[in-house]
Structures are given as C-alpha cells and as structure tokens.
Amino acid sequence: MKILENEESFMLTIFWSYIKKHPYIYSLATVFALLSSGLAIVPNYLIQRFIDAMVNETLTNQNLGTYLALFLVSIVLIYLVDITWVVLLFSQSYRYQNTLRKQLYQRLLQLRTPFYERFRSGDLMTRMTSDIEFLGDTIGYGFMLIVSNVTWALSIFTIMVVTISWQATVISTLPLVLFAWAVFKLWQKVDVLYEANRDAVATLSNEVLEVVDGVRVMRAYGKKELEQTRFQKRTSEVLEKANHLVLYNGAVGPIAKLFTGLSMALGLMYSGYLISQGQMTIGQLISFQIYLGMLSGSIWGLSDIVLVYQQGNVSFRKVEEILTADDLVEKNGHQPLTGIENITFSDYSFQYPTSDTPTIQKINLDIQQGETLGIVGPTGSGKTTLIRQLLRQYPASSTGNLQINQQEIQHYAISDLEKLIGYVPQEHVLFSKNVAYNIGFGKHHATDEDILDVVASADFTKDVARMPEGLETLIGEKGVSISGGQKQRISIARGLIRQPELLILDDSLSAVDAKTEQAIIENIQAIRKNKTTIIITHRLSAVANAQKVIVMDQGAITEYGTPDALLRQKGWYYQQHLKQQLEDNQHENI
C-alpha cells in the first residue's frame, strides 16, 4: 500500500511539474473556471427574484425585460467562458500526450535487446496508445473536473448559505458528504480491477499481433479453428474483467442517485418548515432546490474523478516503467570513435542474462581493417552471439576483453559505434513502404543514384525491373509480397548504402542460389576494399575468398585460418566442404 501511495504522490508531482511549466495556460484556465462558477449562479438568482416578484405582485414590464436581458447575457457569457477554458485545458492535454509519446518513443529506440526480451509488442503498443491517452485525460479532463466542480460546489454552497439559509444548506448537504465517503471506499477496488482489465487487453493485443504475423503458418497447418478457440478464450477473459470493472464503476451512479435523492428530500422538508415559519420565500425555495440540484451535480462530477484518477494512476505506472526501465547494458561511453582499425577478442566469454552457462567462451580473435572474416559452424554454435557483442545489444562480459582500436568497446559512445556498422540480420526487418524507401533507410538523404548502385551490388537489378512499379513497388508489411531471396537482397542493399566501416552479414545469403550468392560476394569484395567485412554463413562458398575463417562449435573456436589452411587440416570445415560440393554436383546433374 505504501508503494502505491508513493507512486500516486510521484504521479501528482510529475503532473504539478508539468502544470508549472505552463503557468499562463493553467492560470488562465483556472481564472475562467472561477468566472464560470460565479456566472453560473446569476441565472438562478434571477429566477429567484422573478418568482418572488410574481408572488409579491411587484413584477412590471420593465422588471421583466431587465430579468430577461440579464438572463440571456449571463447564459451567453457562461457559454463563452466555458468554451474558452475547456479548449485551453484540452489543447494542453493533447500537447502533453504528444510530448509524452515522443519521450516514450525515444526511450524505446534507446533500449537494447534485454529490455525487449521482457516486454511483448502488444503490451508496448498499449502503453504507447491507451495508457498515454488516459494520462492525457487525467491532466486534462481530471483537472477540469477538479477546478470546475470544486469551484462550482464552493460557490454554490456559499451562495446558498449567504442568500437562503445556512441551516437548510448544512442539513441537505450531509448525504452528499456520505456519498463522497462511499465513493472513496471504492477507490482501491477500482484500481485493482482496472489494472487487471488493462493487462488483459494488452495480452489480447499480443495474441492479435501473433495471429497477424503467423496467419499463413496457421492456414498451412490447419490450425485456424484452434487459434479461433484460443482467441475467443482471450476475449472472454477480457469481457469478464471488464464486467467486474463496470460493476464497480456502475455502482457509483446508483449510490449518487440514492444520496442526492436523500439530499433533495431533506432540503425540501426543512425548506417547507422554514416557509411555514416565514423564514424562507417561495422564490428562495425554488432557487434552493435548483442550487441543490447544481450542487449534487458538482458532487456527482467529482465522483467521476475517481475513475479518471485510477485509470491515470495505473497508466502512469505502466508508462513510468518504460521510462525508468533498465536494459542491463552499460551506460553510454563518451570516448569518440571515428574509424575501426582493429577488433580484438581476448579470452572473451559471454553468458546471456537469462542463461546459466556461457554461450561463447574463451574467444581469441583479431580482425584487422580491410579483412574479410568468415564465421561458420553448426547451428547453435554461438556465431550470432559473437557478433552481437560488437553491436552492443547486450552488456559486455566481464570475462575477458573485447577491444576496438585497443580500447574497451564499452568506453565508446554507442551512437558512434552504430554509425560505423552496417548489419544485415538473419530476420530481415522491412517496412510496409516501397523498395526505394527500405533501401534508402540505411543512409540519410540517399539519392536515386546511391540506391541504384547498391541495387546492382546486391544483384537485385533484374528483380526490380520485373516489379510492377520498379523501386516504387510496395512490398507490404514485413515484405509479405516479395520472396525470401528478395528480402535478403533488399536488406543487403540497405546495409551497403551507408558504406560502413564494418559490414556484418549474418546468414544473409541463405535464400539466394549459388550463382547469385557468388555475384553478391564478388561485388562486395570489389566495393569494400580497405573496409572490414564479417560473413556468417552455413554455405562455405560464401567465405571461400575470405582472409580468415573461424569454425565455431559449442561456443568456442575450434578451427582458425585461411580457407585453404582449413581444408588441409581436414577437420569440420573440410568435411562440410566435401558435403556441400557433393550436394552442388548432384544439383548440377539433375
């Protein structure tokens, strides 16, 4: 409970800090809200004077005209004042959402792989959308409820005490105090239920994303009915939690009607008594009932703050969790890095945060500028894990050393390191844009000439020519409308266009044929003289011309040397070479 109270206090502190950054807007909105509350009393006061004049038979045409004119003027002023301060508040609320969304998006771009292993996409989408919207509602609609209803309630209560009867006012407002207490008791339960409902929606979003990504696999395996059943189960869970939340939220309305009804009854009974004693006029009675209705409405409006506040509090916890999340990677270094002259692994071992055993161990490797390094080995031998160390996707290991230019890699600014590396991963991330956009994404202000050059280097020119709109052809979400080989070559072209100091191809040629692979490798060697290239592959022909090749097995380097030297050793590389040659000959004979 103390933790929740601290979080709530922190949320209010953050909101107050934001409000203080925009003092003129919130001060002006508050002034207009106070003015609106004062003006709201005028029409009712005029009704009281009008009725008393009728009862006392003192109403004249001149008085009637004056009352009507003042009534119309007050109504118009109330409308203009209300619309002004409401627009001010809600426009600022949307600015707050915009600022927070940018801040959260920037944070997501900074966080590394360990963070994304803990948070699923659907949950992050919920935090980026509905949670931010609820926070905007809290600082906008919530502020409006507090300012308008509090000022309205205080002004109405004051005018009732001053102009009508303080005894009747106190007696009739006692049930409203009990109503506020009853609503307060619902807060804790609503908080728990809302968070459960929100998490259920986030889980459902994850399910939807997985269904969209895997719809073709589901069809191929005939699992449509099974997935439909699972989805219905998830939606039923969301419905059940939503119903529980609605039950408690819905209880506020009947409770409000009960206590406001009691308030009206007590007020009417005591007012009748005051009239019988000659202490209240008919006009005051009617005005009192109108004031009481307005006061009940303001108290009812304040009860709405419960839901807004609880939603905002839960959403704040979810957003703050991202803003303060630790991805376990070391703090960004400050030493600048303008080039990569050499990369050195010295007795380097690495263990994933969620693993109990090292994935790579005692790696000793030196890569000089301009060299091409081939990395081969069985599946799961640690090849990708090794190059992930260069990408700073995980915290650097304390076992051994990984250095660039004789300096520990964690000493360099990550942004500088990223600018020097072109990475083509196994899983190609393509955007639902056209071909040119996906290739040009690798370089700021890429020209058409730049794109055409790397298209040729990736041996993709003929494919582009066959596409209906060439480079402007839309490839669909994640490249759904193109083949696996085309996805790989677009990714390779994107990696080449930035002309990186270090190019890493992580099994990026697996979906192309041997002839295309050979053409791409030759093009890369031609355009990347004096630049470093690392090629991870299962097909040995891709590293046949590399200066160095390492064979990895069970996280260790088991063979190291030139391709010819490895063939002479007659180890794993030699056996794999014979096997692949045999397979290639069989394909040629077919």
CATH code of the domain in which 580 resides: 3.40.50.300
Task: State the CATH number of the domain containing residue 304.
Answer: 1.20.1560.10
More confident residue, 577 or 588: 577
Q: Do 268 and 396 belong to one domain?
A: no
Question: Which two structure tokens, joined as six digits, stand for 110?
Answer: 């900074």
Residues 413 and 394: their CA atoms lie apart, in Å, by 15
Residues 491 and 494: their CA atoms lie apart, in Å, by 5
What's residue 568's pLDDT?
Answer: 92
pTM (2 decimals)? Answer: 0.71
Q: Do 41 and 155 belong to one domain?
A: yes
* Helix axis angle, 143-163 to 61-110, nearest 10°: 150
Compute the residue count for the chain.
590
Q: Is the pLDDT of residue 316 over 80?
A: yes
Q: Do 89 and 200 belong to one domain?
A: yes
Name residues whose C-beta falls within 8 Å of residue 450's C-beta, 6 or more positions apart in sequence. Answer: 440, 443, 497
Residue with tokens 């300096």: 407
Average pLDDT over residues 457-480: 86
Residues 93 and 142: their CA atoms lie apart, in Å, by 10
CA angle 478, 505, 473 (to 5 degrees): 35
What's residue 551's pLDDT?
Answer: 94
Average pLDDT over residues 199-219: 69
Dihedral sign for Cα atoms in the order 439, 442, 444, 448 = negative
Q: Is residue 520 part of a domain?
A: no
What's residue 4's pLDDT?
Answer: 45
Report how far Cα 508 is from the mean position of its chain's Cα atoms. 30
Among the three residues 298, 323, 348, which one is the final residue of a domain in this structure?
323
Dihedral sign for Cα atoms in the order 465, 468, 472, 473 = negative
Q: Is the pLDDT of residue 384 over 50?
A: yes
Kindly report, residue by residue over 254-304, the tens digit of the pLDDT.
Answer: 777 788 778 878 878 888 888 888 887 777 777 777 777 777 777 766 667
Q: Do 304 and 398 belong to one domain?
A: no
Q: Is residue 524 part of a domain?
A: no
Among the three residues 292, 323, 354, which one is the final residue of a domain in this structure?
323
Q: Do 369 and 487 belong to one domain?
A: no
**For residue 330, which phi and psi values (nearest 5 degrees)?**
-60, 155
Q: Is residue 164 part of a domain?
A: yes
What's residue 221's pLDDT?
Answer: 63
Residues 419 and 500: their CA atoms lie apart, in Å, by 7
What's residue 44's pLDDT?
Answer: 75
Q: Do 378 and 473 belong to one domain?
A: no
Q: Averaging pLDDT over each range in 212-226, 232-246, 458-472, which range is the top one?
A: 458-472
More confident residue, 203 or 75: 75
Average pLDDT over residues 165-180: 80
Q: Is residue 16 part of a domain?
A: yes
What's residue 414's pLDDT?
Answer: 86
Q: Which domain holds residue 448?
A: 426-499
What's residue 85's pLDDT?
Answer: 81
Q: Is the pLDDT of residue 13 over 60?
A: yes
What's residue 1's pLDDT?
Answer: 43
Q: Is the pLDDT of residue 25 over 80?
A: yes
Name residues whose C-beta falls within 8 Å of residue 564's C-beta, 6 or more positions apart in sequence. Answer: none
Q: Is residue 332 part of a domain?
A: no
What's residue 574's pLDDT?
Answer: 92
Pair 296, 260: CB distance under 8 Å? yes
Torsion angle, CA of 78/83/89/90, rounded to 10 degrees? 150
DSSP string, 240-256: HHHHHHHHHHHHHHHHH
Pair 426, 509: CB distance under 8 Å? no
Question: Which two structure tokens, joined as six digits, stand for 447?
Answer: 């020209």
Q: Averaging pLDDT over each range in 93-97, 161-165, 195-199, which range is the top one?
A: 93-97
Q: Is residue 331 part of a domain?
A: no
Average pLDDT over residues 141-146: 77
Among the three residues 323, 352, 374, which one is the final residue of a domain in this structure?
323
Question: Which two structure tokens, joined as six digits, stand for 38?
Answer: 């004062």
What's residue 309's pLDDT?
Answer: 75
Kindly report, residue by residue over 357-380, the tens digit of the pLDDT.
Answer: 889 999 999 999 999 999 999 988
Q: Do 469 and 581 belong to one domain?
A: no
Q: Is the pLDDT of residue 215 over 60?
A: yes
Q: Is the pLDDT of residue 3 over 60?
A: no
Q: Do 116 and 139 belong to one domain?
A: yes
What's residue 328's pLDDT?
Answer: 65
Nearest Cα to Cα of residue 350 among 342, 359, 341? 359
- Number of domains forming the structure of the chain: 3
Q: Do 367 and 479 belong to one domain?
A: no
Q: Among 2-6, 29-33, 172-176, where is mean pLDDT lowest?
A: 2-6
Residue 183 confidence class, pLDDT cut points 50, 70, 90: confident
What's residue 567's pLDDT?
Answer: 92
Q: Is the pLDDT of residue 396 over 80?
A: yes
Q: Do 585 and 456 belong to one domain?
A: no
- What mean pLDDT is reported for the chain? 82
Identify each DSSP E strand in 167-284 by its residue range. Answer: none
Q: Among 117-126, 292-301, 330-339, 547-556, where is mean pLDDT lowest?
A: 292-301
Q: Is residue 518 part of a domain?
A: no
Kindly report, residue by residue over 484-502, the tens digit of the pLDDT.
Answer: 888 889 999 999 998 999 9
Residues 405 and 351: their CA atoms lie apart, in Å, by 24
Average pLDDT over residues 229-248: 74
Q: Among 124-138, 225-239, 394-408, where is mean pLDDT lowest?
A: 225-239
Q: Do 311 and 448 belong to one domain?
A: no
Residues 172 and 48: their CA atoms lie apart, in Å, by 19
Q: Is residue 522 part of a domain?
A: no
Kindly report, residue by residue over 474-483, the tens digit of the pLDDT.
Answer: 887 777 788 8
Q: Is the pLDDT of residue 534 over 90?
A: yes
Q: Do 158 and 43 belong to one domain?
A: yes
